[in-house]
Chains A and B, each alone.
Chain A
Amino acid sequence: MNTQGHPPSVNQGKRPSRLLPLVLYVTIALVVLPVLVVASSLLHPSLAVWTHLGQTILPLLLQNTAVLLVGVSLGTLVLGTSLAWLITAYDFPGRDKFRWLLVLPMAIPAYVMGFIYMALFDFAGPFHTLVRSVWGAQAYFPPIRSGGGAILVMTLTLYPYVFLLAKAGFEEQTGSHFEAARALGSSRARAFFALALPLARPSIAAGVALAAMEALADFATVRYFNFPTIADGILRVWHGLMDLGAASELAGLLAIFSLLMLLFEQKNRGRTKYYQTRGRLPGLPETRLVGGRGLLAALFCAFVLFASFGLPVGQLLMWAGREIANITPPVMATYVELAMNSILLATIAAILVVLIALVVASLSRLKDKKSLQSLARLVTIGYAIPGAVIAVGILLPLSFIDRSINAFTSAWWGFTPGLLLTGSLVGLMYAYIVRFMAIAYSSVDASLEKISPNTVLAARALGANAQRVMFAVQLPLITPGVIAGAVLVFVDVMKELPITVMMRPMGYDTLAVWVWQMASESLWTSTAIPALIIVLVGLVPIKFLLDASSSRTEKQTSQILMRKDH
């Protein structure tokens, strides 16, 4: 009977339709297709393209990507882990506030944080000017337009990934482990390095992998800092040369980097079940830091918070104030239009993504087979694939279809309808679906998982028919998960940049695209208001995150953070 523990199909008794599994397979195939397209371009490498790339930009892109990966991984590792340990194992003034405040920088996309740091620390910026006025024109000031600048900015926006997961990793440890180590003669320091750190390592590693994936996907920040990586390279060859061949080869290369990160993350996630098994047992013992040491800990947290949130948001508010002081009706109208465009895209995408997630998650439960659910989980792969790679993977087949349609119609009826797929919202939505399916799917899947098979059986035993089971039992149980998934997709689409830049219909600008374009031209005040809206919207999922992490489970935190289940 129901040995696997899945909710039984509502159609029990009836012969399940043959069509439904087909819908499932086609949906999964469509979501995975772009990744396969890009991967297959690696299988048929074009020698000419590679030779050209190899002689020109490729060595630099590879080197920069590697430097960025290592730098951001190390930066987020050290910053995120040390903050998490401080918050978990010590008590100091403001600790309970910092516990959630330190997550706020996640709301600021790297492409927003990037140009603010650029404005603040570049030659003409206030800090550089101050240094020159004090120590003279020859005074040394570290150049912000460099790999170091890009690594700094990305570390500041991405460390919360590591912070949250490391915190969960520490909090999930049984306190008696640490105490046993002390009783066996270990100092606090040795107990940390021999015990607490290795036990949290799977969580920390997963957090670092997520931060690294984000760093790989970024093209805008590295471009401000004049530090081109592979993601930036894809956009350059695509925009500058319209060379889809070269773009797809680079995308394939980037996909390999990302899939390696994904493997690394997944491998480590599997281990947490042995390492972090606290349950209801007491957690790590807390040490109260008094006097100067407590103050020092609070100052450290405050400094990180200032650099990663206070400073950039303060600067945005200043610019926004200046902008509002002399705003004109046409500028106002532009902002309204940008916001409407962003909201429209985000709303359509959220609805589509959640609907497809629901279809896939429920169809994969039609049969009591774990294999079907593992297969369905393939739809979540997009969270690890940079937007630029997904865009290329969709542009290749869609532009082929567009060309075929035009060739067909012009041959038969003598007219061409234009770019039906790549020139409209269809391609853009397709890309959003691939990229953000994981967030919605994990949310929907987790809520379906919560419905025990017996709940449905009980309802049926009480005489409810299939419709009533669905409307009275299943839908109410999954609604919170569905709404959470939709909100998270909405927010991520609002913030999304590379896919939107590459695939939006001509002249269709969003808040994110506008911010990037204005920032690229150093028109700081024009970026402020749209950027602030993006940051504000970005604060929404942080509430979800904090709710999940306050219940102290690594799994829930990561479901939202990692856009993926298990």
Chain B
Amino acid sequence: MSWHCPLPTRDLLPGYVTLSHLYKKFGELDAVKDVDLSIARGEFFSLLGPSGCGKTTTLRLLAGLEELDAGEISISGETVATVQSSIPPEKRGVGIVFQDYALFPHLTVFANVAFGLYGMNKEIIKSRVQEMLTLVGLQNSGGQYPHELSGGQKQRVALARTLAPCPSVILLDEPFSNLDAELRDALRLETKEILRASGSTVILVTHDQEEALSLSDRVGVMNGGHLEQVGTPYEIYHQPATRFVANFVGKADFFRATIREGQVVSNIGSFPLLSPYDALEGEVDLMVRPDDVTLTPDPLGTGTIVEARFLGGDAVYRVALPEQTYLHSQRMSANLLDVGSRVLVEVNLPHVVIFPRR
């Protein structure tokens, strides 16, 4: 006898999980402020932000582990939490993988995975647990105890345990942060494969931008309890909506500039204003990513390399420009440039992001 989850539907039906104007206070602190979000069925969504930005609180509100102060949460068309009423966590059909995995130390791996299948037919439980353990590559570890497992194995068990009862949404709370770098990369990919195959709707909470950008269909960047921007990884990186997002995701240099009659004038040069900024006028800031800056050795160039950091495949240069202006450039390291040499600096203009000065 065996049992499977209802056939996965990764139809990206919008509005599968919706958070409407969520607020949560801890004492005087606004942990979550007016968070408004809609996640599609089968989507892999990440909440990215520094520690204390409210991303974990948002996740806990979604799971029913905290009660909200305002707003509404619905999953699959059903309202699960408002200020007045809240469906308890055990009835929401939401699975969580915790940062510390929260494996039950007194139960075997098998019993851990079986925990959420409580009350089902013994045979079904057995086959389902075995299926889950096989899925995460631990088919022979059912009899072990959590303290006998490595960090990576614990993470896999936690995933199997969460998937076993077929949750409608899977929440991952920094699930890779307790692993060392090498294992982390491998497990990220593996986890994504498993979750993709299961067709699950996934919400990942992380402070690691690389993790969010590489795994997700869409990313929401949070700061101070507020959602700063929601978009695809490309949009988050190349079209940051706020200075915070620009700074938090990837490296960026900022320059003061003035826009007059469709012309941008700045320390790094002047150029015509491009869309979508046509309407801007006056004092602005320009944001330039190091990978949008090209350096060409040129004895007559305006830039001087003052620092070179070798990163393996790439090298990052700090370039001095006239008027005490500095700019970073990330280039392939095959043709390493010397500190002190003169370079011609070119910026990929369509990639320059312009923020009106407050």
Contacts and interface: CB of A to CB of B under 8 A. Distances in A.
Interface of A: 174, 176-177, 179-187, 190, 194-195, 198-199, 201, 274-275, 277, 281, 285
B88 interface: yes
B65 A179 contact: yes
A131 B116 CA distance: 53
Residue with the highest number of chain A CB atoms closer than 10 Å, among B89, B98, B147: B89
21 contacts: A174-B102, A176-B98, A179-B96, A180-B102, A180-B104, A181-B104, A181-B115, A182-B88, A182-B90, A183-B94, A183-B96, A184-B95, A184-B115, A185-B91, A186-B90, A190-B118, A198-B106, A199-B104, A199-B106, A201-B106, A281-B100
A210 to B, nearest CB: 22
Contacts of B89: 179, 182-183
Contacts of B147: 274
A190 B89 CA distance: 13
Given A186-B118, A187-B90, A180 B106 contact: no
B204 interface: no
Contacts of A183: 63-65, 89-90, 92, 94-96, 162
B100 A184 contact: no
Contact of B105 (A182, A190, A194, A199): A199
B161 interface: yes
A184 B171 CA distance: 12
Contacts of B94: 183
A185 B165 contact: yes
B105 A184 contact: no
A183 B60 CA distance: 10
Contacts of B95: 183-184
Contacts of B102: 174, 176-177, 179-180
Contacts of B92: 183
Interface string B138-160: 00000001010000000000000
A185 B118 contact: yes
Given A179-B96, A199-B106, A275-B106, A184 B65 contact: no
Interface in B52-69: 63-65
6 A-B pairs closest in CB distance: A184-B116, A176-B102, A180-B102, A182-B89, A176-B98, A183-B96
Nearest to A183: B96
Contacts of A176: 98-100, 102
Nearest to A185: B90
A184 B165 contact: yes
A181 B161 CA distance: 10
Secondary structure at chain A's binding surface: helix, strand, loop or mixed? Answer: helix
B104 A195 contact: yes
Nearest to A279: B100
A187 B89 CA distance: 9
Given A185-B165, A186-B118, A180 B105 contact: no
Interface string B88-128: 11111011101110101110000000011010000000000
Contacts of B65: 179, 182-183, 285
Contacts of A274: 105-106, 145, 147
B91 to A, nearest CB: 8
A345 B223 CA distance: 66
A476 to B, nearest CB: 38
A508 to B, nearest CB: 52
A274 B104 CA distance: 10
Contacts of B104: 177, 180-181, 195, 199
Given A190-B118, A199-B106, A274-B147, A180 B90 contact: no
A285 B162 CA distance: 20
B96 A180 contact: yes
Residue with the highest number of chain B CB atoms closer than 10 Å, among A176, A184, A201: A184
Contacts of B162: 183-184
B105 A179 contact: no
Contacts of B100: 174, 176, 281
A560 to B, nearest CB: 26
A274 B147 CA distance: 7
A185 B116 contact: yes
Contacts of A281: 100
A186 B102 CA distance: 15
A269 B116 CA distance: 29
Interface in B36-90: 63-65, 88-90
Residue with the highest number of chain B CB atoms closer than 10 Å, among A183, A185, A187, A194: A183
Contacts of B88: 182, 187
B5 to A, nearest CB: 14
Nearest to A173: B105
A176 B105 CA distance: 12
A199 B63 CA distance: 23
Contacts of A198: 106
B27 to A, nearest CB: 14
A185 B89 CA distance: 7
A132 B165 CA distance: 61
Contacts of A186: 90, 115, 118
A180 B103 CA distance: 8
Contacts of A181: 104, 115
Given A183-B89, A184-B161, 5 more contacts: A177-B104, A183-B64, A198-B106, A199-B106, A275-B105
A226 to B, nearest CB: 43
A184 B102 CA distance: 12
Contacts of B63: 179, 183
A435 B102 CA distance: 42
B7 to A, nearest CB: 21
A183 B91 CA distance: 8
A361 to B, nearest CB: 31
Nearest to A198: B106
A133 to B, nearest CB: 51
A395 to B, nearest CB: 45
Nearest to A281: B100
A277 B145 CA distance: 15
A169 to B, nearest CB: 12
A186 B161 CA distance: 13
A268 to B, nearest CB: 12
Contacts of A195: 104
A187 B92 CA distance: 12
Contacts of A187: 88, 90
Residue with the highest number of chain A CB atoms closer than 10 Å, among B91, B106, B116: B106
